[in-house]
Structure 1
Amino acid sequence: MWPAVLLVTLPLAAALLMLLWPRRARVLHFAVAVGLLPLAVSFLLQVTVSGEQQWFLGNWGPLLAIRWQADGLTTLLLLVSVTLHLLVSAYVGSIQRRNPLPAAFWPLSNLLLASLQALWLSRDLFNLYVCLELLGMVAVALVTLSGDKALRPALDYLLYSLFASLCYLLGVALIYAGYGVLDIPMLAGQLEANWLNAVALTLMTLGLMLKAACWPLHLWLPAAHASAPAPVSALLSALVVKGPLFILYLLWTTLAPAAFLPAAAYLLASAALGAMLFGGIAAIRTPYSKSLVAYSTVAQLGYATLALAFILRFNLPEFVAAMWLFVLSHALAKAACFLAIGELQHTLGARQVEQLKGASQTMPLAMFAFAVAGGSLIGLPPSGGFLAKWALLLGLWQSQQFFWLLALVVATLLSAAYVFRVVVLAFDRAAPTAPDFSPQRLPQYLALLPALLVWVMAVFSLPLLTLLKQEL
């Protein structure tokens, strides 16, 4: 139990201490971030060897206590969250002299991590609401660190997030009114296919899809992610939008009555198709580099949503593996993309895609980081994105879903189009630079690291696939 508790309480305590001693915030932040990584690794190994673990916090009975549960998927998500938190923090530290973020970044990023870690572990509908609400509030605060230009996108994000939270909470209240319990394992198999549960699940799904920016409820995401500082955009895209997706998975694979699954699968598959097609087209059309990466998030989330739809419809382990491989690989790739684009934008002033012309000669490391991460978004072998698409293709082939195979091919071509749109420009002839032009190398290496990690996933493909298939 203690590793799980420490993974949540250490960043939370660090955030509170930073408010008391702001001058020590940076040192305290890195001490906690470095300490959490071996803790998350050891917890993953412990759960892999010993199997699923669960606890009732405070030693209360099941009806009163908050249940925490750790399985292979949970510990993987905990490890990825801690890893990206450390990498993004190191990037922020490396640019502090050149482009310092406000001091509020340090406690806010720790609050973000603490709420996300608690969300991965929670198996109580109301406690998940609390984690989700804290996650949303901290994310909005982080967006505002860009200054006045980010206030309108942050306000839109806040309003959408509050409406989504209200929808989710109303659904939770309806379930509690009907069953008097909010513990997910205790509710499993208990919900009946009646109108009350239909309304409750619809409200909760609407709120979660809005928070996860699932198409067509994604309108807040491009502006919020594009206007935030690059490190914040990396955290939002890589981690924050995955939290609601995780709850959506728990909701429909554990609680929902079987009679509701076909309709839910149709809804999710339709949203996934819209995300993959319209998100990809928007990424191709936008003139701004950060907006391109933001719209790519909408498109890439469509793959995970499609996998979830077919989990509900066919119950094949390949779809479970595909969904979570998409989540893990997208988290690493998108963090690399935002950090690389942020570095290119700051050093070259490249707010627009056209201004990236010749970037492979002027800033080859940052451009290489974007290209490597983009290869995973496309699904080039042997990246993590390829593993996810291969698992999804296998599931679609086994279930004879040939229309969706074609849709996946079209969506992949769109992904290739917006990635190569940047890469082709970058290999054009560069404009002359000033004699004293010397971009920082450390931030570029830190942007490259998660891009390389997403390709290293191929080395661990067998244990990853085995672990994720066991989650169904």
Structure 2
Amino acid sequence: MFPALLLVTLPLSAALLMLLWPRFARSLHVTVALLSVPLAGYFLQQILLHGEQQWLLGGWSPLLAIRWQADSLSALLLLLSALLHLLVSGYALAVQARDRLPAAFWPLSSLLLASLQALWLARDLFNWYVCLELLGMVAVALVTLSGDKALKPALNYLLFSLFASLCYLLGVALLYAGYGALDLPLLAGQLEANRLNAMALLLITLGLMLKAACWPLHIWLPAAHAAAPAAVSALLSALVVKGPLFILYLVWTELAPQAFWLPASYLFALAALGALLFGGIAALRTPYGKSLVAYSTVAQLGYATLALAFVLRFNLPEFVAALWLFVLAHALAKAASFLAMGELQQTLGSKQVSALKGASQTMPLAMFAFAVAGGSLIGLPPSGGFLAKWALLLGLWQSQQYFWLLVLAVATLLAAAYVFRVVVLAFDRAEPTAPDFAPQRLPQYLALLPALAVWAMALFSMPLLTLLKQEL
């Protein structure tokens, strides 16, 4: 239990110390970020050696205690969060002199990590609510670091987040009124297929889909992610929207009665269809670079939502593997995309996609990072995006869902269109211009790292599937 406790308490304690001694904020932040990665790696190794572990904090009975549970999926997400937090911290340090991130970034990003790590470990409906609230408040505060231009998107994000929290909490209250427990293992298998539970699960699902920006509840995301600093956008897109998705998966696969699975699968499939098509079209049409990446997040979340829909409908291991491979691949690709696009915009001095003309000559590293990450978003082999899409296609073929094969083909073409829209423009040499700036190389290399990592996932496909307890 000690490593798990440290993964939560280290960033939380560091954030509090940063508020007391702001002069040491960056040093504390970097120290905790560096310690969290080997600690998460060691914890993952322990889970693989000894299997799933559970703890009841404080020694209370299950009805009163906070239950933490770690399996291979949770441990993998803990490691992913620590790695991306370290990467973004390095990027923020590298661009600090140029972008002048406010001092609040350091404690806020540490709080973000603490709330995420607690969320991956929690197995209690109310403690998930606490984690979601902390995660939402910190994310909104991070968006505002861009200044006055970000206040409206941040306010919209806050209002939608509060409404989502209210829906989630009402659903939890209904379940507590009916069963007197909030502990997930205690409630598992206890829920009956009645109207009260249907309403509770509907409210919980509505709140989580709104927080995860699942279509059509995504309207807050593009403006908020585009307005935030590049380092913040990378954290929000790569990690924050995955937390509600994780809870949604556990609520429906471990808590909801199976009589509700089929109608829920239609709801998730409809949301996935809208995300894949309308998200892709919006990314293709927007004139702004970071908005393109933000709308791409909406579209890419459609793949995970579709995998969840078919997990509930057919319960095939291929769909479970596809869901979490999409989460891992999307987190790495989106971190790279936002960091690369942030570098391009800050250095070239424009938010317009049209300003990227010839960027392959002026900023080749950043452009290469974006193109490599974009290849995974499209699903080009042998990237992580391809692995996830292949698992999803395999499941759809086995379950004879030929319509959805066509949908995935169209969604892939849309993804290729908006990625190559940027790449083709960047390689346009019609009007070569001599840059009057000196791009920083270290931030571009940091943007390239997760892009290369998502392609390296192909080298570890079998260990990853074993980690996720899948046998394809």
Cross-structure match for 1:18: 18
Q: Deviations over 1:321-370 (max 9, x none)?
A: 00000001000000000000000000012311111000000000000000
Cross-structure match for 1:288: 288
The one-letter code sitting in structure 1 at the alignment partner of 2:191 is L
Contact 1:344/1:366, CA 8 A, preserved across alignment: yes
Partner Cα separation in structure 1 for residue 262 and residue 315 of structure 2: 12
The one-letter code sitting in structure 2 at the alignment partner of 1:322 is A
Cross-structure match for 1:323: 323
Q: Deviations over 1:3-50 (max 9, x none)?
A: 100000000000000001100000111011001110001111110111
Cross-structure match for 2:164: 164
2:365 counterpart SS class? helix
Q: Deviations over 1:129-153 (max 9, x none)?
A: 0000000000000000000000000
Aligned-residue offset at 1:467: 2.0
Contact 1:320/1:471, CA 8 A, preserved across alignment: no
Aligned-residue offset at 1:470: 4.4
Cross-structure match for 2:248: 248
Partner Cα separation in structure 1 for residue 63 and residue 373 of structure 2: 45
Aligned-residue offset at 1:432: 1.7
Instruction: Say whether residues 1:264 and 2:260 are aligned partners.
Output: no
Cross-structure match for 1:144: 144
2:58 counterpart SS class? helix
Cross-structure match for 1:7: 7
Q: Deviations over 1:294-330 (max 9, x none)?
A: 0000000000000000000000011000000000100
The one-letter code sitting in structure 2 at the alignment partner of 1:153 is P
1:97 counterpart SS class? helix
TM-score norm. by structure 2 comes to: 0.99
1:98 counterpart SS class? helix
Contact 2:465/2:471, CA 8 A, preserved across alignment: no
Cross-structure match for 2:277: 277
The one-letter code sitting in structure 2 at the alignment partner of 1:221 is L
Corresponding residue pairs, total: 471
Aligned-residue offset at 1:456: 1.0
Partner Cα separation in structure 2 for residue 437 and residue 96 of structure 1: 17
The one-letter code sitting in structure 1 at the alignment partner of 2:131 is C
Where in structure 2 are the equivalents of 1:45-194 lying within 5 Å? 45-194=45-194
- Go from structure 1 to structure 2 and tell me whether the alpha carbon gap of 1:471 and 1:50 turns closer, same or farther (over 3 Å shift): farther
Structure 1 stretches lacking a partner, 5+ long: none
The one-letter code sitting in structure 2 at the alignment partner of 1:109 is S
1:59 counterpart SS class? coil
Contact 2:347/2:437, CA 8 A, preserved across alignment: no
The one-letter code sitting in structure 1 at the alignment partner of 2:287 is P
- Go from structure 1 to structure 2 and tell me whether the alpha carbon gap of 1:351 and 1:222 turns closer, same or farther (over 3 Å shift): same
The one-letter code sitting in structure 2 at the alignment partner of 1:114 is A
Aligned-residue offset at 1:431: 3.5
Cross-structure match for 1:226: 226
Q: Deviations over 1:383-418 (max 9, x none)?
A: 100000000011101111100111111101100000
Displaced runs of 4+ in structure 1, greater than 2 A? 469-472
Cross-structure match for 1:374: 374
Where in structure 2 are the equivalents of 1:422-461 lying within 5 Å? 422-429=422-429, 431-434=432-435, 437-461=437-461
Partner Cα separation in structure 1 for residue 168 and residue 332 of structure 2: 28
Contact 1:238/1:332, CA 8 A, preserved across alignment: yes
Cross-structure match for 1:43: 43
Partner Cα separation in structure 2 for residue 466 and residue 31 of structure 1: 32
Cross-structure match for 1:207: 207
Aligned-residue offset at 1:100: 1.4
Contact 2:372/2:451, CA 8 A, preserved across alignment: yes
The one-letter code sitting in structure 2 at the alignment partner of 1:167 is C
- Go from structure 1 to structure 2 and tell me whether the alpha carbon gap of 1:67 and 1:470 turns closer, same or farther (over 3 Å shift): farther
Partner Cα separation in structure 1 for residue 465 and residue 382 of structure 2: 14
2:46 counterpart SS class? helix
The one-letter code sitting in structure 2 at the alignment partner of 1:8 is V
The one-letter code sitting in structure 2 at the alignment partner of 1:296 is S
Partner Cα separation in structure 2 for residue 417 and residue 368 of structure 1: 17
Partner Cα separation in structure 2 for residue 399 and residue 50 of structure 1: 35
Contact 1:73/1:471, CA 8 A, preserved across alignment: no
Cross-structure match for 1:196: 196
Instruction: Say whether residues 1:419 and 2:429 are aligned partners.
Output: no
Partner Cα separation in structure 1 for residue 350 and residue 265 of structure 2: 41
Partner Cα separation in structure 2 for residue 431 and residue 153 of structure 1: 36
Partner Cα separation in structure 2 for residue 208 and residue 17 of structure 1: 31
Partner Cα separation in structure 2 for residue 277 and residue 58 of structure 1: 48
Aligned-residue offset at 1:276: 0.3
Partner Cα separation in structure 1 for residue 286 and residue 471 of structure 2: 38
The one-letter code sitting in structure 2 at the alignment partner of 1:269 is A
TM-score norm. by structure 1 comes to: 0.99
1:69 counterpart SS class? strand
Cα RMSD (Å) of the superposition? 1.0
Contact 1:320/1:469, CA 8 A, preserved across alignment: no
Structure 2 stretches lacking a partner, 5+ long: none
